[in-house]
Each structure stands twice: as structure tokens, then as C-alpha cells.
A and B are shown apart, each in its own frame.
Chain A
Amino acid sequence: MSGSAPSTTWRDWLLSDRPQSATQARLGQAWLSWRAFRRNRLAMLGLGLILLLLIVAALAPWISPYEPNVQNLRLRLQPPSAAHWLGTDELGRDILSRIIHGSRITLYIVTLVVVIAAPLGLLIGTVSGYFGGWIDAVLMRVTDIFLAFPRLILALAFVAALGPGIENAVIAIAITAWPTYARVARAETLTLRRSDFIAAARIQGTGSLRIIGRHIMPLCLPSVIVRITLDMAGIILTAAGLGFLGLGAQPPAPEWGAMISTGRAYLLDQWWVATMPGIAICLVSLGFNLLGDGLRDLLDPKRRGG
């Protein structure tokens, strides 16, 4: 019973109902969430896929059997074999190696989009929700206008204006991604802004921007993170779509969408060229979707049980 017994295991320490410090309480909470999350087999599968992506991307130069851009025309369009597990493409490059290196591009795009879009959405959403009134009206109308365009089409138009390339694709996708985060952050802020601790902070003379930055934003983060995780698949698919149209990463970069696009010419006779990168895209976006679904269930107790 007593928490100070020397035989205390880590588990007991984490689950103690009388935590000695804020850190212990927080870790205990995290442990409980993790246990709930672990029960969701599909979500664990998603987590596994994402971890796999991270590991593959980190170790790409060491685990890929060949150089991704080295051509060998004598070995062009070879079917999958022991030497080339996923076959070779029209320039004799090893498809598996290209997919492995392509994971870095995917991760790069996704990370940059999130780094640009998430803070922007969070800021606009919290400011809009906290101040209300005409600021809210204007910001939300602007958000609505961006949401009025289908994502890919707006991104296409932006890339058309900015010119093809991976950075411009990132900017275009980020421009289409922030409104959703703004919506989520605003909804969360609306439930928070009337609460007592905000009123207390205000009475103490805390400035509005500080309240938003220090008190509201951190509490909005969990739902925004879930939204981002669910959005990742969409970002990856949009990026692959831009790549497929030749507007994303430029050759010879082993971007998965662009690889599918070149494989299209050989679809009927050399099916593996177009098919293999697509499987990689599917697995990664499925991973993000499963993970996001699991995280959402975790955050929203209504969806669990009863």
C-alpha cells in the first residue's frame, strides 16, 4: 500500500494515486494512455508502419542495396528477382533502392508542410476563437474561402503559378492545409475561453497574446496533433499526385508519385515499375490513417466503449 516500499516496480510508481511530483503524474497519465492505445491493434499497426518509415528514411544510404540514381541500361526493366527484389526501372535503376530513398522525400515534404501549416492554423484559430467578434468573422470567412476549393485543385493552381518543384509543392500544399487546423483550434478555443483559469489569468493582468500563447495554445495542441496525423495521409497523397503530374519533385529524385508516372509508360508489360512505388504510398498513408484514428479514439472517450 505505502508507495515508499523498496519493492515498488515502475508500474506501481507510474500508477500511484498519490504522485510525488508533476512529472510522475504526467508520466502516469501517459502510461495509462499508452495502455489504452496498445489495446487498439489497428492503431498499433499504424504506429508500426510509421516507425518503419522513420527507420527506413534514417538508414536509407545503409540499407538500400544499390545507389538510387545510378543507371545501368543493360539491366533496364528487369522483373523482380533475387538481385533486384522489386525489379528495375526504364534506366536500369533498382526500384527498391529508389523507394527506400524516396521515403526521405516523403518525410521531408510532410514535415515541411506541417511545420508551415500547423503554427499558422493554430495561431489563426486561437486568435479567432479567443477574440471573437469581427476578428473571428473575418478570419473564419477567409478560412472558409480556402476550404471552398478542393485541395488538390488549389494546390495545382498555386504550383502552376509558382512553377514546379518540391519547395513550391510544399508551399502549395501548406497553403491548402492550414484552414482545417484553424477550424479545430478555434473550436477548442471556444470551449476554453470562458473557463475560470482564463478569467483568473486575465484578472491578474495577463495580456491577450500571452494568454493565447501560454494557456490556450498548449491545450489546443492535442486535437490539432490528431487532426494533423489524420491529415498526413492527405498531404502524402496530394504530394504524390503533384509528383505524378510532374509538378512536384523533379527527376531524377526518386519521388514515389513521379516514379508511378514514369512507370505508366511500361504498365502493360513491366507492371512492377508503376506498381511498387504505389504500394509504398499506400502503406505509409494507411499507417498515418490508422495511427490518427487510434489517437482520436484515445482523445475522445465517447467513441470508446458504451
Chain B
Amino acid sequence: MSDTLVKRPPNLIGSRLGRHARSLGGILASIAFTFLGLLCITFVIGRVIPIDPALAIVGDRAPAHVYDRAREELGLNLPIWQQFFIYVGQVLRGDFGTSILTGRPVMEDIARVFPATLELATLGIIIGVVFGVPMGVLAAVKRDRWADQLVRVIGLVGYSVPIFWLGLVGLLIFYARLGWVGGSGRLDFFHEGIAPTITGVILIDSAIAGEWDVFRNALHHILLPAALLGYFSLAYISRMTRSLMLEQLNQEYIITARVKGVSERRVIWVHALRNILVPLITVIALSYASLLEGSVLTEIVFAWPGLGRYLTNALLAADMAAVLGATFVVGLVFVGVNLLSDLLYRLVDPRAK
């Protein structure tokens, strides 16, 4: 329990390089470990399932030798650790098995539905940042005044409202009653299939094709779900911006700037904001990744053909290959975004060394 008493001799030459290499090695090791961990969890979940996959294929009236053959072909007779290695090997080759529901490889399905989720989450995060950051700054500047309280309440409500319910209420008001936005789905029926699929992101595809009717229709459809997701990321972003800003506004350089006669607007939006930029990017990256989660329920409510709806449909059909594949991909994106923001932090912020 005591710290190491023997101090290593300082290695002056190349110590910086060594430190970089060590931290890079550490990062790589942690990536590998996390990757294996993710696989471990999906593998275990796949094992817990009470449905016997061999029985599901041959049916419960099949004779014993047919059943045994099926087990053998699926590799279920091998020791569990061997099965795990086979599983890891398959995933490394991008093979998540075949979906029962669509009859296609899970990887192909995911590649097809992912752009829709990406489009939704990206627009959502843009909305969240555009509104959330200024609100957080405002709350910090007007600390404990009514503007601060208002921002706090808006954020807290965002944390408290079930997203699927808010989506339904939004559809009821803005679609059914007011007719301001399009209904569910990504496009109206008669706009479908006009713009050729290039990126899978309809807003981009239709703009490339110059189909502005399709573009407008797509925008109409995406606005409400994206605004919803934006609201949820706004709740987190504005709160974090506020506390990061408060930290900066108490610093002496801010006082110095004010004493020097720098305008208040410049002090806040240039001096202070620049110094919270790095942690703020981390915050934004994290909430971007977490929009993947929010998108599951949102996609259900808006019949949005993305990863979340794919996952849920697979789930309701007990299509485990698809469920585990989608779960793994989401976990991977989550870890990847975390890692990127971490790397960015180390690269940009000299204090993080």
C-alpha cells in the first residue's frame, strides 16, 4: 500500500518521446481491451438467451442425430473459450452472421440503415450546439439571476421528459394540428426513390442531384425528430458550458482583461470561450455519441429507418445476430468517439500532459 520508494533515474534524453510512445501504447492497449470487453458482453448476452439456436433451426421434433449435427455445424459443441475465439475472428472479419428478419448479412443491413441515424444525430447535435452553448454562456454570465434559473429549468426538463413521449406530443401538435412539419418516415411516399442514393444521407443526396423538392420534403421530415434530439443534447451541453464558463470567469486573466478595458462581450465570447473550447468539444462529442441512444426511441416514434429501429425490430423478432451486431456497432461508435475526444484533448490542451 506504500508508494514505490525507489525512484527511477531520470531519463533526460528522449524522455518526451518515450512518454508519447508509452501513452500511445497505453491507449492502444486500452482500445484492444475495451474491444475485447465489448465482444465479451455481446458474446455473453448471446449465450444467456434461452432459445437454443440449434433447436430453432431443426425444430423440436427433429431426431437426436440431426440436432447434434446442427449443433456441430454451429460450433456449439466446442469448448466455450474456443467459441469465443471463433466469434472474435468473425467479428474482426466484419461477419456478424445473417439476420433472420431480412435474410441478409447483419453487417450489410447496418451499413444500409446507419446513414439515416447519422443524418438525424448530426442535425440534432448541430441544433444542440447552436442553442446549447449560448444558453450555457448566458447562464454563467447571469449567474443566479432569472436567466440562469430559466436555462437550468429548461435543462432539467430535458433530463426528465421521456423522449418518445415528447416525440408523440410533437407529432400531435406540429404535424397533426399545425401541419408545420412532415409526418413519420424520412420522405413522403411520392418523393421516394427520386434522388439516387450516394451517401445514404438524403439531405446530401438530394442536394447533389439538385432535387430541391425532395430536399425540402426531407428537411420537413427530419426537422421535428432532429429538434427533439437537439433538445436533449442541449440540456447536457448548456449545463456543461455553464460550469466550464463559471470556472473561467473567476480566473485572474479575465479580471486583467476587464481592467485593460476590453469590452465585456469580447471578454466573454473571445477570452473565456476560447479557453473552454477543448473540454467543450469533449462534451459535444460525448453527447453526439449518446444521441445514438436517444435515437432508438425517436426512430420508433417517427418510423425513421435507422439503426435504432433496426435494433428494436430485430429485438422484437428475437433476431439475436442482428441485435448483437447492432449493439456491438453502437458500443464501438461510443468508444471510438470517446477515444477521439480524449486524443484531441491530449493533443490540443498542453495541461493534459
In the complex, are the beta carbons of B34 and A153 less than 8 A apart?
no
Enumerate chain A residues within 8 angstroms of B292, measured Cβ to Cβ: 150, 153
Enumerate chain B residues within 8 angstroms of A145, measured Cβ to Cβ: 34, 37-38, 40-41
Q: Which of A161, A162, A237, A285 contacts B46 (CB 8 A)?
A: A161
- Given contacts A157-B42, A233-B160, whether A144 and B327 have CB atoms under 8 Å apart is no
**A244 CB within 8 Å of chain B:** yes
In the complex, are the beta carbons of B300 and A150 less than 8 A apart?
no
Closest residue on chain B to residue A283 by CB atoms: B160
Q: How large is the interface on A (under 10, 10 to 19, 20 to 34, 35 or more residues)?
A: 35 or more
A262 to B214, CA, bound (A): 33
Chain B positions 158 through 187: 1 when the CB is less than 8 Å from some CB of chain A, otherwise 0: 011111111011011000100000000000
A152 to B300, CA, bound (A): 14
- Report the stretch among B59-67, B131-139, B316-324 that lies at the interface: B316-324
- Given contacts A149-B41, A156-B312, A267-B168, whether A282 and B162 have CB atoms under 8 Å apart is yes
Enumerate chain A residues within 8 angstroms of B151, measured Cβ to Cβ: none
Query: In angstroms, how far is the closest chain A Cβ from the Cβ of B157?
Result: 7
In the complex, are the beta carbons of B160 and A160 less than 8 A apart?
no
- Report the stretch among A27-35, A116-124, A268-276 that lies at the interface: A268-276
**A102 CB within 8 Å of chain B:** no
**B45 CB within 8 Å of chain A:** yes
Enumerate chain B residues within 8 angstroms of A215, measured Cβ to Cβ: none
- Report the stretch among A6-14, A53-61, A67-75, A286-294 that lies at the interface: A286-294
**A219 CB within 8 Å of chain B:** no
List residues 280-317 of chain B with CB under 8 A from any CB of chain A.
289-290, 292-293, 296-297, 300-301, 311-312, 315-316
List residues 132-171 of chain A with CB under 8 A from any CB of chain B.
132, 141-142, 144-146, 148-154, 156-163
Enumerate chain B residues within 8 angstroms of A148, measured Cβ to Cβ: 34, 37-38, 331, 334-335, 338
Q: Which of A160, A244, A289 contacts B297 (CB 8 A)?
A: A244
Enumerate chain A residues within 8 angstroms of B219, measured Cβ to Cβ: none
**A260 CB within 8 Å of chain B:** yes
**B33 CB within 8 Å of chain A:** yes
Q: Which of B157, B161, B300 contacts A245 (CB 8 A)?
A: B300
**A249 CB within 8 Å of chain B:** no
**A281 CB within 8 Å of chain B:** yes
In the complex, are the beta carbons of B162 and A281 less than 8 A apart?
yes
Enumerate chain B residues within 8 angstroms of A161, measured Cβ to Cβ: 45-46, 48-50, 320
Enumerate chain A residues within 8 angstroms of B334, measured Cβ to Cβ: 148-150
Q: How large is the interface on B (under 10, 10 to 19, 20 to 34, 35 or more residues)?
A: 35 or more
Query: In angstroms, how far is the closest chain B Cβ from the Cβ of A207?
Result: 13
Among B50, B160, B290, B296, the one with the most A-chain Cβ atoms within 10 Å of its Cβ is B160
In the complex, are the beta carbons of B162 and A156 less than 8 A apart?
no
- Given contacts A142-B37, A161-B48, A268-B176, whether A153 and B164 have CB atoms under 8 Å apart is no
Closest residue on chain A to residue B318 by CB atoms: A160
Enumerate chain B residues within 8 angstroms of A275, measured Cβ to Cβ: 165, 168-169, 172
A277 to B330, CA, bound (A): 30
**B30 CB within 8 Å of chain A:** yes
Query: In angstroms, how far is the closest chain B Cβ from the Cβ of A37?
Result: 17
**B194 CB within 8 Å of chain A:** no
**B111 CB within 8 Å of chain A:** no
Query: In angstroms, how far is the closest chain B Cβ from the Cβ of A269?
Result: 9
**A79 CB within 8 Å of chain B:** no
In the complex, are the beta carbons of B34 and A144 less than 8 A apart?
yes
**B86 CB within 8 Å of chain A:** no
Query: In angstroms, how far is the closest chain B Cβ from the Cβ of A201?
Result: 13
A236 to B121, CA, bound (A): 23
Enumerate chain A residues within 8 angstroms of B33, measured Cβ to Cβ: 141
Query: In angstroms, how far is the closest chain A Cβ from the Cβ of B94?
Result: 20
Closest residue on chain B to residue A145 by CB atoms: B37
In the complex, are the beta carbons of A153 and B311 less than 8 A apart?
yes
**B27 CB within 8 Å of chain A:** no
In the complex, are the beta carbons of A282 and B161 less than 8 A apart?
yes
- Given contacts A145-B38, A289-B156, whether A163 and B50 have CB atoms under 8 Å apart is yes
Query: In angstroms, how far is the closest chain B Cβ from the Cβ of A76?
Result: 20
Interface residues, chain A, with chain B CB atoms under 8 Å away: 42, 132, 141-142, 144-146, 148-154, 156-163, 233-234, 237, 240-241, 244-247, 257, 260, 263-264, 267-268, 271, 274-275, 277-278, 281-282, 285-286, 288-290, 293
The 6 closest A-B pairs by CB, nearest first: A150-B293, A145-B37, A278-B165, A286-B160, A285-B160, A161-B49
- A and B contact pairs by CB, cutoff 8 A, 12 listed: A150-B334, A153-B331, A156-B312, A160-B49, A160-B320, A240-B162, A245-B315, A260-B162, A263-B168, A267-B168, A278-B166, A289-B159
